[in-house]
Amino acid sequence: MKGRYGDIWDELFSGLWEANVEEAYFKNKVALVTGASRGIGRAIAESLSLCGARVIANYHKSEKEITSLVESLQNKHCAIEALRADVTNGKEVERMVDEVVKRYERIDILINNAGLKRDSFLALMSDEDWVEVIDTNLKSVYYVTKWVSRIMMRQHEGKIINMSSLSAFKGLAGQANYAASKGGVISFTRAVARELGRFGIQVNAVAPGLIETDILKDMDKEALKELIQGIPLGRIGTVGDIVGAVLFLASNHSDYIAGQTLLIDGGLGI
């Protein structure tokens, strides 16, 4: 055996270790990330920007958070800007996509990340909580993908990554609305992947399990402890665990992957 991996593996991986990944995959790519002000969306927007992509960080209400993200990255000479739009509103989404294309002439990567939770037992759930979760988590994916896909079809290339959840696979009490919305994202992903594949567009989804974000602060401590005990890897995931998967699906490494959902949950859903 020669070197770290032997003759064959050294030859295969040497270019990967030495190559400038930013230049190879994301340099000057135009990426639109919805719900980019906090949590996973913020981490994705930051990582894509640091990798050389031109990032449009969408937000709706969290102006303070998105401003701090944009300013910190622009100070590092990254190409990122914020764009406000309510992604549950079709007209606002159309306007947002038109604005991105007006500025950059294309969209290479779409991350449908905007989402929220309004947990409640079904018998006690309000109509407002049902509608708001479905609209934010599912209808927004429909609107944004619809308008962005038209741009990508003209380009004959593009990457679309939709954010689902472990809840789509593992029923959790109090999350009927959330599970329904995230299950819908998976079915939507599979159907749209079939439609857009002929145009050189790959559509996939990522389904996080328990991840260290603000959303966990609202969970019952005992219920959270019990869930962690059921994770084979023995820990809650980090946003970095999700970002790595998203960057993979957004890169050329995933060119032959379509309609799939990558479950990143430490084995909790096994």
Dihedral of the CA atoms 181, 117, 245, 95 (nearest 10)? 70
Q: What is the pLDDT of residue 171?
A: 80
* Structure confidence at residue 24 as a pLDDT band (50, 70, 90): low
- Class (C level, CATH) for 26-263: alpha beta
Q: What is the mean pLDDT of residues 249-254?
A: 95
Q: What is the pLDDT of residue 18?
A: 41
Output 96 or 16, whichever has higher pLDDT.
Answer: 96
- List Cα–Cα distances, 267 to 72, 214, 237, in angstroms: 35, 22, 11
Q: What is the pLDDT of residue 233?
A: 95
Q: What is the mean pLDDT of residues 137-165?
A: 98
Does position 252 have pLDDT exceeding 80, yes or no?
yes
Q: What is the pLDDT of residue 5?
A: 40
- List Cα–Cα distances, 80 to 29, 70, 72, 106, 113, in angstroms: 12, 6, 10, 15, 17
> To the nearest whole number, what is the mean pLDDT of the chain?
90
Contacts 24+ apart (CB under 8 A), 99-102: 100/30, 100/32, 100/56, 101/151
Q: What is the mean pLDDT of residues 6-23?
A: 45
% of the chain with per-residue pLDDT over 70: 90
The model's pLDDT over 182-217, given as tens digits with 9 standing for 90+, comes to: 999 999 999 999 999 999 999 999 999 999 887 777
Residues 57 and 66: beta-carbon distance below 8 Å: yes
Cα gap 183→81, rounded to integer Å:
31
Does position 14 have pLDDT exceeding 50, yes or no?
no
Does position 110 have pLDDT exceeding 70, yes or no?
yes
Q: What is the pLDDT of residue 228?
A: 87
* Structure confidence at residue 4 as a pLDDT band (50, 70, 90): very low
Q: What is the mean pLDDT of residues 89-100?
A: 98
The model carries a pTM of 0.89
Residues 196 and 262: beta-carbon distance below 8 Å: no
SS3 state at 153: helix
- Residues classed as catalytic: 178
Residues 96 and 83: beta-carbon distance below 8 Å: yes
Give the per-residue SS3 of 194-247: HHHHHHCEEEEEEEECCECCHHHHHCCHHHHHHHHHCCCCCCCECHHHHHHHHH
Q: What is the mean pLDDT of residues 137-155?
A: 98
Does position 22 have pLDDT exceeding 60, yes or no?
no
